[in-house]
Amino acid sequence: MVNENQPSPIYVIAAHPNWRDSRVNRQLHTAATTTAGVSVCDLYETYPDYAIEIQAEQAKLEAAQLVVLMHPVQWYSMPALLKLWVDEVLSYGWAYGQGASALKGKDLWLVASTGGAESSHHPQGYNRYFFDAFLPPYEQTAALCGMRFLPPMVLHGAHSAPAALVAEHVSTFRERLQTYPHWPELDDLADCVACEVPEQDRPAGEH
Ligand SMILES: Cc1cc2nc3c(=O)[nH]c(=O)nc-3n(C[C@H](O)[C@H](O)[C@H](O)COP(=O)(O)O)c2cc1C
C-alpha cells in the first residue's frame, strides 16, 4: 500500500455510502489500495461529517496524473458526497476559469457499477436511455478543467453478475492501474478542448 503522504501518479476517489452492502466496489477498492503507485481516498470514511478538506484534496489532485472516480451509480449519477467533493474541490480559479490550470493535461477516469443490466439501459429498457446518455456531466466536468475524459469502465448488473465476471472486472481494473498510462486506446484519444468561462458568467466581484 502507498503511503498516503507520498505524491502518487494515480489518485482514486472511492465513494460508496455503505461498503457492507457492496459486492463490486469493495473489491475494486481493495485492488486499488493494494496496487503500488496508487493513492486512495475512501470518501465516506474520510469525511463522515461531509467536511471535506479542500486544500488536502487539491494537493492530492495536483500530485496525480490520473484521477479515478470510483462509485456505484445512484440515481443516474454519483453518490451525494462525491458530488459535494466535485462542488467544493474543483473550485473556480483553481480547477477552471481564468488562469486556472491545476488539472490541465491530467486524465479523469470513471469506474462505475450499476444495478441495472446493460440491456435495461436501452430505449426499450426500464432505464430508457443508453448508459452513455448519463455521461456528459462527467465528460464536460473534465473538459472544463482541461482534463481528458478516458473511456469509462462500467460493470452493469452488479447484483446478478456471475462471481467470475466480477473477478475478471476487478482484475482488469488492477491491471489498468498497474499499466497506466500505457493503455492502447489512449493513443487515439484527442487532447481536451479548451473551455474558457467568460467573466460575465461568474458572480459579480469574483475574479
Ligand atoms: C440510492 C441508490 C440509487 C441507485 N440508483 C441506480 C441507478 O440510477 N441506476 C442503476 O442501474 N442502479 C442504481 N442503483 C444500484 C447501484 O448502482 C448498485 O447497487 C451498485 O452499483 C452495486 O455496487 P456495489 O456492489 O459495489 O454496492 C442505486 C442504488 C442506490 C442505493
Q: Say if 177 falls within a structural domain.
A: yes
Cα separation values, 169 from 19, 24, 106, 153, 196, Å: 18, 9, 24, 9, 37
Q: Is 75 among the domain residues? A: yes
For the chain, what is the mean pLDDT?
Answer: 94
Instruction: Note whether residue 59 is domain-resident.
Output: yes
Q: How far is CA 59 from CA 31, 82, 96, 173, in A?
A: 23, 17, 16, 24
Cα gap 68→42, rounded to integer Å = 12
| pLDDT per position as a tens digit, 157-183 | 999 999 999 999 999 999 999 999 999
Q: How far apart are CA 158 and CA 112, in angstroms?
A: 10
Say which CATH number the domain at 33 has.
Answer: 3.40.50.360
From the alpha carbon of 28, which atom of ligand 1 is closest? 26
Beta carbon of 122 within 6 Å of any ligand 1 atom: no
Q: Is residue 2 part of a domain?
A: no
Say what the pLDDT of residue 8 is: 53
CA of 155 to the centre of ligand 1 (A): 11
Q: Does 6 score more than 60 pLDDT? A: no
Which residues face 77 on adjacent strands?
A: 74
Q: Is residue 4 part of a domain?
A: no
- How far apart CA 81 and CA 4 sit, in angstroms, is 21
CA of 115 to the centre of ligand 1 (A): 5
115 falls within a domain: yes
- Distance, in Å, from the CA atom of 38 to the CA atom of 150, rounded to the nearest integer, reads 17
In this structure, are residues 175 and 35 in contact, taking their beta carbons and an 8 Å threshold? no
Dist CA 24 CA 189 (whole Å): 28
Number of domains in the chain: 1
Residue 65 falls inside a structural domain: yes
99 φ, ψ (degrees, to nearest 5): 75, 0
Distance CA 70, CA 74 (A): 12
For the cut 70, the answer to whether the pLDDT of residue 3 exceeds it is: no
Domain hosting 65: range is 10-201
Report whether residue 114 contacts ligand 1, using a CB cutoff of 6 Å. yes
Q: Read off the pLDDT of each residue in 148-162 and give the average, rounded to a whole number.
A: 97
* Residue 3 lies inside a defined structural domain of this protein: no
CA 167 / ligand 1 centre spacing (Å)? 19
- Dump strand ranges (E) for the chain: 10-14, 38-42, 66-72, 107-113, 148-149, 153-155
